Amino acid sequence: MTKNYPKTARIVEVSPRDGLQNIKTQVPTETKLALINQLCDSGIKDIEVSSFVSPKWVPQMADAAEILGQLKARPETNYIVLTPNLKGFDRAMECGAKEVAVFAAASETFSQKNTNCTADEALKRFEPLMAKALDNGIKVRGYTSCVLGCPYEGDVSVDEVVRITKALIDMGCYEVSLGDTIGIGTPLKAQKMIEAVLQQVPAEKLALHFHDTRGQALANILACLEYGVPNIDASVAGLGGCPYAKGASGNVSTEDVVYMLHGMGIQTGIDLDKLVAAGHYITNEISCTNNSRISAIVS
């Protein structure tokens, strides 16, 4: 097969949200803001900064309004916040959000555990949110979770991954990020999934969001890059995990993804040294392991 690697890749940094939503201790708002600023200074242009979900469900994201309120305005940067429903969207809009992300799952059990509704009910919840976003010029990104397996159901149907992803695109998401929520996939399985999704949605509208629980994330990203998917979610220091996905650990580390892409001649516009410094900053602040391999040798 001719490999159709993209010439440039866009990194969507998810550490302030996916990385910190699962930390047991409360991370101070100032620490989150300092992390976000360092990430932006490294050249990251798309960054998920928090989520307007129920603070009872995810206490670590309870300061979403303060985060959006205190972030430095950077015209070149897209600050993204997660919104599970209209209530979250309204809170985000009040704080001046310009881009939100909605999330649905290809597994019914995960959908119930994570958002207390079925996958179709989640899609229905997004309809009024989408309409309001469109009216107010707010961009909406989508997520399909459990694309390579579910922590509760095991195997997930590829047809369901395609159905949810296409539904999110059809309702107005400019892009859908495909989540291997528990990092269970392997490269050939990832390729089968991406081939099926590409029958319905073009590569430019897809992103890869692979957790690294079993050390497969970089291999899975490479396997899907061959198909020209140019958008990759990643988290500095490999932080991450969903509190409602049993056994999920960190996302793929942004530093390692950037190292791989640059080595392949795929440009990201990111300064690897500054990125590594941001990873060391946050892991020192919250006293946790830095899971980036490249950061162990570039200090």
Q: Taking the CB of residue 292, how many other CB atoms lie within 10 A of it? A: 29
| 210 binding ligand HMG? (CB under 6 A) | no
Q: Nearer Cβ to Mg ion, position 93 or 149?
A: 149
91 vs 95: CA distance, rounded Å: 7
Residue 154 Cα to chain centre, angstroms? 21
Task: Determine the residue with CB nearest ligand HMG.
Answer: 179
Residue 18's Cβ-count burial label (10 Å; 0-12, 13-18, 19+) is buried
Task: Determine the residue with CB nearest Mg ion.
Answer: 18
Helix (H, G, I), strand (E, B) or coil at 235: strand
Binding-site member from 18, 46, 48, 99 for Mg ion (CB under 5 A):
18
Backbone φ, ψ for residue 97 (5° rounding): -60, 140
| 84 binding ligand HMG? (CB under 6 A) | yes
Q: Is 150 a catalytic residue?
A: no
Q: Taking the CB of residue 168, how many other CB atoms lie within 10 A of it? A: 27
Binding string to ligand HMG for residues 18 to 57, with x set by CB under 6 A, is what?
Answer: x--x-----------------------------xxxx--x
Helix (H, G, I), strand (E, B) or coil at 40: helix
Residue 151 Cβ vs ligand HMG, minimum distance, rounded to whole Å: 11
Binding-site member from 79, 244, 256, 280 for ligand HMG (CB under 6 A):
244
User: What's the token pair of residue 122?
Assistant: 């989640």
Instruction: Tell me the catalytic residues.
Output: 242
Binding site for ligand HMG (CB under 6 A): 18, 21, 51-54, 57-58, 82, 84-85, 87-88, 91, 103, 114-116, 143, 145, 179, 181, 209, 211, 242, 244
Which residues lie near Mg ion (CB under 5 A)?
18
